[in-house]
Amino acid sequence: MNELKPCPFCPDGGKPEIGYTVTYWGYCHTCGTEGPYKTTREEAIEAWNTRASLWIPANETVQEGQEAFVRVKFPGGPTVFYWATVENGVWSENFDDEIIPSGYVTHFHPIAEIPA
């Protein structure tokens, strides 16, 4: 597998590439999202392609109480990731209970329940 999947965060698929310094990693030239660092180019491609399929667009339906990692893009500012929960129909950041402004969450990655 040598082909990178489109960036999961860019509406047009972005411009994913493989970077290299001492290790390899996938990244999107368009939005700056990076994948994990790997020893080989092939491992970096596999990690990028696997990671890309785990994120769900924010316009998909979420359940009240859903916990997830969310990707937040602030207009004209940084892209950040938060651990958040849906409360009263909106995402609330879990560390200080701040409401994430409507429309700023672009994608989410559900957090599975820890087995008992």
- Burial of 5 by CB count in 10 Å (0-12 exposed, 13-18 middle, 19+ buried)? middle
pLDDT for 29-49, tens place per residue?
888 888 888 999 999 999 888
Rounded Cα gap, residues 84 and 39, in angstroms: 32
Q: 2-12 pLDDT, tens per residue? A: 789 988 888 78
Residue 38, pLDDT score: 92
Half-sphere exposure of 56 (CA within 13 A, CB side): 12
Would you state the pLDDT for residue 52? 63
Q: How far apart are CA 97 and CA 27, in angstroms?
A: 30
Task: Give the pLDDT of the chain (116 residues) as one tens digit per residue.
Answer: 578 998 888 878 889 999 888 899 998 888 888 888 899 999 999 988 887 667 888 888 788 888 888 888 888 887 888 888 888 888 888 877 788 887 898 888 887 766 66
CA 54/CA 58 separation, integer angstroms: 13
Q: Give the pLDDT confidence score for residue 78 in this predicted structure.
A: 79
Burial string for 41-77 (b: 16+ CB within 10 Å, else e) reads eeebbebbbebbeebeebeeebeeeebbebbbbeeee
pLDDT for the residue 39: 94
Q: pTM here? A: 0.61
